[in-house]
């Protein structure tokens, strides 16, 4: 990651910014000039926790921010022949005292340290809102990219029940803006989250809708809009593919006609010689 050129900013005075938990960070004024999108109304430093403000300050000086690691969560998993991989869990006590379950067991398994991405999702989302409010487009784009990567990674690696909980937490934050005066900023985050859900297609049909969109009418609208957009894109791709096939067929026919014209005189000459 390329480090930002901050030499001129380092000559400015140092000022304190305070997070929601009263934690203070000291930053060169030249790095935070420019104010807030929409003025002082809406989200300011005091709306964000120390971890989020720290990540933003880290980016100001280094051009990057440290991505939080997934946490571990104690959860129960019902073991059946269709149970997904639980290799990221520590197996604890079974009723018979053993630490290994019979392959066909349906006994609830107490799983410790199952991966949980809620902290990761919310860190990227909150830092995105702070960055957009501070007009820092480079880091805000980085936040959305990392959020999307984190959602994809979580979908593939963690228990589905925990993934649903993590997505619910992200949806609650995304669709219940803490500073509604900057709706366009939230719209961008909402499109990222709803776009990811639309892209999951079959999975969305398997998970009860109430687990994801309970009370979020706008999310339902975004999902519908995303689905329609996806259908349009598929139709456009199919149309382009159809045109390409027709073009290749026409090319093949032209080549066949050309070869026929070339070979016809040769065949006639061969007949005369015979």
Question: What is the reported pLDDT for 113?
Answer: 67
Question: What is the reported pLDDT for 98?
Answer: 47
* b/e sequence 161-197, b meaning 16+ C-beta within 10 Å: ebbebbbbbbbebbbebebeebeebbeebbebbbbbb
Q: Are 129 and 36 in contact (CB under 8 A)?
A: no
Q: For residues 98 and 67, what is the distance between their CA atoms, to the nearest angstrom?
A: 38
pLDDT tens per residue, range 202-257: 676 666 555 666 555 666 666 666 666 666 666 677 777 877 877 777 777 666 66
Q: Where are the chain's structural domains?
A: 9-74+110-215
Q: Give phi and psi for 73, each to the nearest 5.
A: -130, 135
Neighbours of 142 (CB within 10 A): 21
Q: What is the DSSP secondary structure assignment for residue 177, as one 8-state letter?
A: -
Q: For residues 116 and 114, what is the distance between their CA atoms, to the nearest angstrom?
A: 6
Q: 42-51, 100-109, 142-151: which has the highest mean pLDDT? A: 142-151
pLDDT tens per residue, range 184-196: 888 899 999 988 9
pLDDT tens per residue, range 77-116: 555 555 555 555 554 444 444 444 444 445 555 545 688 9
Neighbours of 138 (CB within 10 A): 11
Question: What is the reported pLDDT for 154?
Answer: 95
Question: What is the reported pLDDT for 114?
Answer: 80
Question: What is the bridge-based pairing of β-strands 108-116 and 71-78?
Answer: antiparallel
Q: For residues 140 and 7, what is the distance between their CA atoms, to the nearest angstrom?
A: 23
For residue 1, pLDDT over 80 is answered with no
**Which helix (H) or strand (E) element contains residue 190?**
helix 183-199
Q: Which residues contact 30 (CB under 8 A, 6 or more apart)?
A: 6, 8, 9, 10, 11, 12
Question: What is the reported pLDDT for 160?
Answer: 85
Q: For residues 166 and 187, what is the distance between their CA atoms, to the nearest angstrom?
A: 20
Question: What is the reported pLDDT for 189?
Answer: 93
Average pLDDT for 161-175: 90
Closest by CA to 131, choosing from 92, 77, 85, 189, is 189
Percent of the chain with pLDDT over 90: 31
- CA triplet 122, 28, 38: central angle to 5 degrees? 55
Mean pLDDT of the chain: 76
Q: What is the DSSP secondary structure assignment for residue 110, as one 8-state letter?
A: E
pLDDT tens per residue, range 128-141: 999 998 888 899 99
Confidence bin at 66 (pLDDT 50/70/90): very high
Q: Are 27 and 57 in contact (CB under 8 A)?
A: yes
Stronger pLDDT, 271 or 234, i.e. the higher one: 234
Q: For residues 71 and 58, what is the distance between their CA atoms, to the nearest angstrom?
A: 22
Average pLDDT for 114-120: 92
The SS3 of residue 25 is strand
* b/e sequence 248-261, b meaning 16+ C-beta within 10 Å: eeeeeeeeeeeeee
Q: Which residues contact 89 (CB under 8 A, 6 or more apart)?
A: 77, 109, 111, 112, 113, 114, 159
Question: What is the reported pLDDT for 181?
Answer: 57
Question: What is the reported pLDDT for 101?
Answer: 47
Percent of the chain with pLDDT over 70: 60
């Amino acid at each position: 990651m390329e480090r930002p050129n901050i030499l001129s900013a380092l000559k400015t005075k140092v000022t304190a910014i305070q997070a929601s938990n009263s934690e203070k960070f000291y930053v060169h004024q030249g790095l935070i000039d420019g104010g807030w999108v929409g003025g002082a109304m809406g989200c300011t430093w005091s709306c964000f926790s120390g971890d989020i403000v720290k990540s933003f300050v880290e980016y100001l000086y280094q051009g990057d921010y440290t991505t939080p690691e997934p946490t571990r969560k104690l959860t129960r998993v019902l073991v059946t022949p269709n149970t997904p991989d639980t290799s990221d869990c520590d197996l604890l006590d079974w009723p018979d005292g053993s630490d290994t379950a019979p392959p066909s067991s349906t006994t609830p398994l107490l799983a410790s340290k199952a991966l949980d991405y809620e902290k990761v999702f919310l860190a990227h989302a909150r830092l995105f809102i702070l960055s957009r409010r501070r007009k820092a487009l480079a880091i805000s784009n980085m936040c959305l990219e990392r959020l999307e990567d984190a959602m994809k990674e979580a979908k593939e690696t963690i228990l589905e029940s925990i993934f649903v909980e993590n997505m619910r937490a992200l949806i609650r934050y995304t669709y219940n803006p803490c500073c509604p005066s900057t709706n366009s900023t939230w719209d961008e985050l909402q499109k990222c989250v709803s776009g990811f859900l639309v892209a999951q297609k079959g999975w969305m049909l398997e998970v009860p809708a109430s687990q994801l969109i309970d009370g979020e009418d706008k999310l339902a609208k975004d999902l519908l809009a995303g689905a329609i957009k996806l259908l349009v894109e598929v139709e456009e791709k199919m149309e382009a593919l159809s045109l390409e096939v027709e073009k290749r067929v026409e090319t093949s026919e032209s080549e066949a006609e050309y070869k026929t014209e070339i070979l016809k005189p040769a065949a006639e000459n061969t007949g005369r010689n015979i």
